[in-house]
Amino acid sequence: MPAIYLKSNYIAFILFFIAGLFCINSSFAQDATSHSTFKFKTVIVDAGHGGKDPGAHGAYSKEKNVALSIAKKLRDLINDEMSGVKVVMTRSTDVFVELHKRADIANDNHGNLFISIHCNSSPQKRSTERGTLLLVYGFHRSQEQREALRENASIYIEKDYKDKYNGYGSDAVVNTIVLNAFQQKYRKQSIQFGDLVDHEFKKTDGRRSHGVKEQGVLVLAQSGMPAVLVETGFINNASDEEYLNSSSGQTEIARSILRALKQYRDNLEGR
C-alpha cells in the first residue's frame, strides 16, 4: 500500500508539473499576443566581466573595458531615443559583479529584456576568426559549448559557486528540468531579439556573423526574462580588436543593438 501511495503522489507531482508548464506557456502566449496592453518598460544592460575578472584579452585591450564602453553607449542611446523605456545597468564602473547578482538585479527591476555585452575570443593567441555571435540560453550541445564554458568561467572566481548556481558542475537533474521549463517561456522571444540584432550587424554594418546559437550560458538562464548575450567581435583578432576599441566601432555596435531593440519593442507592442 505505501508503494501505491507513493506512486500516486509521484503521478500527482508529474501532473502538477505538466499543469505548471501549461500555465507558463499560456502566460507566454498572453505576453506575445495581447498587443494592446503589453508595454515594454525596462531593459537590463549587462556589461560582461569587470574588476578582478578581465574576461578575454586582446593584444592590448581587455574584454571588461570594451564591454563597459559599449554598454554605456547603448544606455545613453536608449535614454536619448526611447522615451518611456528605463535602462538598468548591472554595472557602470570597473567592478566585479557575480553572475547570480546580475540576474538578481535584472529580476528585481522586472526587466522585459536582458542584454549582455561581451567579446568573443578563440583559443589561439591571435585569432583568424572574427565577427559577431548572439547567444541565447538553450540545451547543451557538447560541440557548441566553447563560448558558454568561457563566459561561465567567471563563477570560478566566486566563492561557493556550487551552492549559488544550482549545483553547477554536479548532477542536478531536477534543477535542470525546472530551469529548462522556465526557459521555454522566454526562448522564442530571446531568439527573435537575437535575430534582429544579427540582421543589423550583417546588413547595416557589414559585419561577419556567426549567427544566433543556443548555449548553456548561466547568466541568461537565471534571468526571468528574454535574454541575449552579444559577442560583439573577437578581441584577439587584430582587425576586430581595433574596431572594438574605436569610438566609431563601439557606436556602430550600440546603434545596431538600439535599432533591433526598437523593432523588438514595436513588434511586442503591436505598433
Question: Which positions lie near Zn ion, rule CB under 5 A?
Answer: 48, 55, 118, 151
- Comparing CB distances to Zn ion, the nearer of 48 and 194 is 48
Shortest spacing between CB 66 and Zn ion, in angstroms: 10
- Comparing CB distances to Zn ion, the nearer of 55 and 249 is 55
Shortest spacing between CB 226 and Zn ion, in angstroms: 19
Q: Computed from CA positions of residues 215, 216, 218, 222, in that sequence, does the dihedral angle turn out positive or negative? A: positive
Distances from the Cα of 118 to the Cα of 10, 48, 49, 51, 81, angstroms: 43, 5, 8, 15, 23
- Comparing CB distances to Zn ion, the nearer of 151 and 214 is 151
Shortest spacing between CB 117 and Zn ion, in angstroms: 9
- Comparing CB distances to Zn ion, the nearer of 36 and 93 is 93
- Comparing CB distances to Zn ion, the nearer of 15 and 59 is 59
Shortest spacing between CB 199 and Zn ion, in angstroms: 23
- Give the DSSP letter string of 76-95: HHHHHH-TT-EEEES-SSS-
Helix (H) or strand (E) holding 119: strand 113-120
For cell 523605456, what's the residue? 85
Shortest spacing between CB 215 and Zn ion, in angstroms: 12
- What's the CA gap between 218 and 62, in Å, rounded? 21
- What's the CA gap between 224 and 128, in Å, rounded? 36
Shortest spacing between CB 118 and Zn ion, in angstroms: 3
Residue nearest to Zn ion (CB): 118
- Comparing CB distances to Zn ion, the nearer of 40 and 194 is 194
For cell 515594454, what's the residue? 40
Exposure of 140 by Cβ count < 10 A (0-12 exposed, 13-18 middle, 19+ buried)?
exposed
